[in-house]
Structure 1
Amino acid sequence: MTTFTSEQDAFIQHQDGNAVCIAGAGTGKTTTLVGLIGQKLESISANSMLVLMFNKDIRSDFKQKLQASGVMQDVPVHTFHSFCLKFLNQTGYLRETGYQIDFNEGEQDKRFAKQILRGIAQQEKSYQRQQLIKDPKTIELLMNFIGLVKAYLLPPKEVFDLTDINHEYRFILDAYREFETVRKQHKKLFFDDWLVESVKVLKQSEAIRAQYQNQIRLLVVDEFQDINNAQYALLKALLGDQAQLIAVGDVDQCIYKWRGSAPQFMLNFERDFAPATTTPCQIPSVLGIP
């Protein structure tokens, strides 16, 4: 049997309002989340819950630990992207728009980027500029920039101004616009688009937004310090008046700043998700689940 600290038990038993647990590596946060889900299942059905995580390995590990703890109900545990993929299918978005999901991450989108940069290079008279634009590092820069624009949900120029990219690379603004034109012509949704389009659907369709807000009673987010603007917008759109948001994270453990993570969302949790409380998590004295 798992023994929890008083702080962890208070978090697990939390009833009213939203809550964030400050928990770094080695603090037993997974055990605490498993305990939380088990407790909440006493009053909330599994299909009224949604657990969001950052990668499929952690997702699989968490599902195994839920089962090992005795939770037999099928609690929906997703990565942000697997949830969005399911969402785009369930809502009929893919069928109605004709867009296709691209699962071959980093291949076709990179081919588009190469072709676009070659076209821009051909318009340059300077051989040095041509080589700069066609350089493999520039292709990677463009791919990273595309990801940042979609993570920030901001216009490309605003994102460019927020970064420390040298101004000699301003051509990536034109490259981004052309990339989006080509992507839409080919009816492709690349990995970063899944989240962006899900947010758009939720914002534009009151009926779909109401459907999900009425269904979700408990929304649990792991590694909350790593969410970006697009993920934050998704959470806001999914949270209805009857839903409770429970988050776990530690701003000192933020590892995705390079792709748009915004730790201030965790720092501003009590303000943005009021009424909310912040609780520290300590290592339990006995871990029945590692």
Structure 2
Amino acid sequence: MFIKEKQGFKYPFQTTKNGIPLADLADNQTTISLVAEDEKDSFFFRSLEKQGIYLNNSQLQAVRTTDGPVLIIAGAGSGKTRVLTCRTAYLLTFKDDLKPEEVLLVSFTRKAATEMLERIKLLPGLSTSIANRIVSGTFHSIFLRLLRSHNYRADILSNSKYQEILMTQILRDLSLVDSYEPESLLSLISHYKSQMILPRHLEVTTPIEKEIQRIYMAYEQLKEKKNLMDFDDILLETYYLLKYNHEVREQLQNRFKYICIDEYQDTNLEQHEIMRLLLNKSQNLLAVGDEDQSIYNFRSSSPEFILNLKKEFPNLTQITLDTNYRSTNAIVGLGNDLIKHNTKRIGKVLKATKEAETTPIYLRPKDSDHEAKLIVDNIVADTQNGNRRFKDYTILYRGSVRKMRIYNVKEIKI
């Protein structure tokens, strides 16, 4: 974003620094020079190169490291999906006895899972039929299939409005309808379940805690009566199935030779424990994530699980993807300078591949209205004097920008 000098600052307000810290530029070495022709897997990387896929040194190491627990710390824009897909193809190419259905790929979104499979289909030696045999999806989609295969027939309570209706009914039955918001109670119950806390596990000493326990218990009883299961139940029931049904657990441990879990910084206790139950003696776990990008704390996820993997697996191999291919060295450098102040992190310094032609400008508005006005004024001024066009601008934001409408920005289009 370009802000007029009189309205912006070249460095953060009231700091002693006199400019933007620039990230170091990464070297340009790739598999072309890193993998010699006489190496046994050179044909694989030559095939990747023909498709325009050139891995850097840390990416190459991540693809080649196949056995035992592996943690890949993937910085922003570091080619994480490329590494995940290439490593899967590498496994299926060089592990002679490995079948596609013995690979488990867990992602946090359906879109990410679909994208990984689509990319895998295009890689050397693979095909659509092979890729489709890989067990891939989100935690919920994969383990719902598992539950269905073991005669869990409850309908999924996927409609949040209907959930609120059920909770309102419970509050009415308990004469508490004016005491609590259904949405807040459902969020609290979801938190309990992600921590594997059932109604009987709650510590109740105060009247409010006793009421919460009664509500939670009534919610579970009503779902059972109606043969319903909410999204949190999918993982909770999976955990109990794996923990207490030894036959099922051993069957899955024998089946899944390699387990890959993406976005590990956003796992919660429930998901982490399911992963531990699925691992067999070989412990072929690939955990991929970045503790600096944890965003789902409000869903009870915690970066502690990725931070503590080294303690849980003393033989863990840790690889850091530290080259950002997305942003300029000014943006990457600024990000490095900000994130280093986090206390709970493994620690890394990202490198960049692009030099900055311009550097970020800091804006210090009085409030959201003032911020909107400053941004729009500068866009309008720059377009009127011919420096730029409206389509040159993108506004990234968190929260609502509805107030910008009052400043007549209808012309601004993407």
**TM-score, normalisation: structure 2:** 0.60
Q: CA deviation at 1:19?
A: 0.6
Residue 151 in structure 1 maps to residue 182 in structure 2? no
Distance in 2 between residues matched to 1:112 and 1:270, nearest whole Å:
43
Note the alpha carbon deviations across 1:240-276, whole angstroms, 9 max, x for none: 1134000110111111111110211100111223421
Note the alpha carbon deviations across 1:221-242, whole angstroms, 9 max, x for none: 0000011111011101111113
Residue 13 in structure 1 maps to residue 94 in structure 2? no
- Secondary structure at 1:93 match in 2: coil
Q: CA deviation at 1:17?
A: 1.7
- Secondary structure at 2:178 match in 1: helix
Distance in 1 between residues matched to 2:249 and 2:323, nearest whole Å:
38
Which residue does the alignment assign to 2:81?
30
> 1:107/1:278 Cα in 2 relative to 1: closer, same or farther (>3 Å)?
same
Distance in 1 between residues matched to 2:282 and 2:200, nearest whole Å:
38
Q: CA deviation at 1:157?
A: 8.3
> 1:281/1:170 Cα in 2 relative to 1: closer, same or farther (>3 Å)?
farther
> Structure 2, unaligned stretches of length 5 or more?
1-48, 327-414
Amino acid corresponding to residue 46 of structure 1 in structure 2: P
Summarize the alignment of residues 28-67 of structure 1 with structure 2, pairs less than 5 Å apart. 28-42=79-93, 43=95, 44-67=98-121
Q: CA deviation at 1:15?
A: 3.3
Higher helix share: 1
Contact 2:75–2:322 (8 Å) recurs in 1: no
Distance in 1 between residues matched to 2:251 and 2:293, nearest whole Å:
34
Distance in 2 between residues matched to 1:276 and 1:101, nearest whole Å:
40
Note the alpha carbon deviations across 1:160-194, whole angstroms, 9 max, x for none: 89xxxxx9676333211110111112221111111
**TM-score, normalisation: structure 1:** 0.84
Summarize the alignment of residues 175-190 of structure 1 with structure 2, pairs less than 5 Å apart. 175-190=215-230
Amino acid corresponding to residue 175 of structure 2 in structure 1: A
Summarize the alignment of residues 1-290 of structure 1 with structure 2, pairs less than 5 Å apart. 1=49, 2-42=53-93, 43=95, 44-70=98-124, 71-72=126-127, 73-74=130-131, 75-90=134-149, 92-94=150-152, 99-102=153-156, 104-121=158-175, 131-133=178-180, 138-156=181-199, 171-283=211-323
- Secondary structure at 2:319 match in 1: strand
Q: CA deviation at 1:284?
A: 7.7
Q: CA deviation at 1:6?
A: 0.9
Amino acid corresponding to residue 238 of structure 2 in structure 1: S
Number of aligned residues: 266
Distance in 1 between residues matched to 2:200 and 2:225, nearest whole Å:
23
> Structure 1, unaligned stretches of length 5 or more?
123-129, 162-166
Distance in 2 between residues matched to 1:103 and 1:36, nearest whole Å:
36
Q: CA deviation at 1:155?
A: 4.2
Distance in 1 between residues matched to 2:179 and 2:280, nearest whole Å:
49
Which protein shows a greater Rg? Answer: 2
Which residue does the alignment assign to 1:126?
none
Distance in 1 between residues matched to 2:302 and 2:227, nearest whole Å:
30
> 1:196/1:27 Cα in 2 relative to 1: closer, same or farther (>3 Å)?
same
Q: CA deviation at 1:104?
A: 3.2
The alignment's C-alpha RMSD in Å is 2.4
